[in-house]
Amino acid sequence: MGFLDFLVPVVMIAGTVAFMEWFAAWSHEHIMHGWGWGWHKSHHEPHEGGLELNDLYAVVFACFAIGLFYVGSFYWQPLLWIAIGITIYGFLYFFFHDGLVHQRWPFKYIPRKGYLKRVYQAHRLHHAVKGKEGCVSFGFVYAEPVDKLVKKLDNQPKPYDKTAHLDDDERPALH
């Protein structure tokens, strides 16, 4: 086994993970906040229980990856590497979005500094606007700096929760 036999799959897997962040952000903005709002709306509203209609998007991506695993295993191996990259991205999405931001795991952890705090705050700013229009920060693993996102929200006409990105102890008390 030569060096390229190792390098090509690693580059394809890493490239797929990077592409998936771009694709996920694009589809979040243009599909989920567009014609696919029917499923995604459940994610922007309070709900009971662990699952929401929006989770069907993860099922669709998982089915696509499973199909690529099958075709890549039996017919054309590069599709297997792409499937691995999509699956790795799925785990990253689950960790960052479902776990870290929306606390869909059995313990609560809110980051207080660094990159994880920025991701957390950016997605909270995404949810600071009611409805599908006027939202910011559509990525799941990469997040723009919070001050830039706040400026974007300030420059659009729709009202938003100006405390969404603050730590719980920095938020004004609700009466």
Q: What angle do CA 64, 66, 69 make, to 5 degrees?
A: 115
Task: Report whether pLDDT(128) > 80.
Answer: yes
In the 3-class helix/strand/coil scheme, how is the chain assigned residue by residue? CCHHHHHHHHHHHHHHHHHHHHHHHHHHHHHHHHHCHHHHHHHHCCCCCCCCHHHHHHHHHHHHHHHHHHHHHHCCCHHHHHHHHHHHHHHHHHHHHHHHHCCCCCCCCCCCCHHHHHHHHHHHHHCCCCCCCCCCCCCCCCCCCHHHHHHHHHCCCCCCCCCCCCCHHHCCCCC
Confidence grade of residue 156 (pLDDT, cut at 50, 70, 90): confident
Report which listed range, 14-28, 90-104, 105-119, 127-141, is most confident.
14-28
Token pair belonging to 126: 């995404």
Please report the pLDDT score of residue 170 as a whole number: 62
- Give the pLDDT mean for 12-34: 97
Q: In angstroms, what CA-CA distances link 43 with 54, 56, 77?
A: 6, 11, 36
CA neighbor of 9 nearest in space, from 70, 75, 78: 78
Confidence grade of residue 173 (pLDDT, cut at 50, 70, 90): very low
Measure the CA–CA gap between 112 and 106, rounded to whole angstroms: 19
- Residue with the bigger pLDDT between 52 and 19: it is 19
Please report the pLDDT score of residue 20 as a whole number: 97
Please report the pLDDT score of residue 48 as a whole number: 77
Please report the pLDDT score of residue 14 as a whole number: 97
Please give the DSSP secondary-structure letter assigned to residue 174.
P
Confidence grade of residue 22 (pLDDT, cut at 50, 70, 90): very high
41 φ, ψ (degrees, to nearest 5): -55, -35
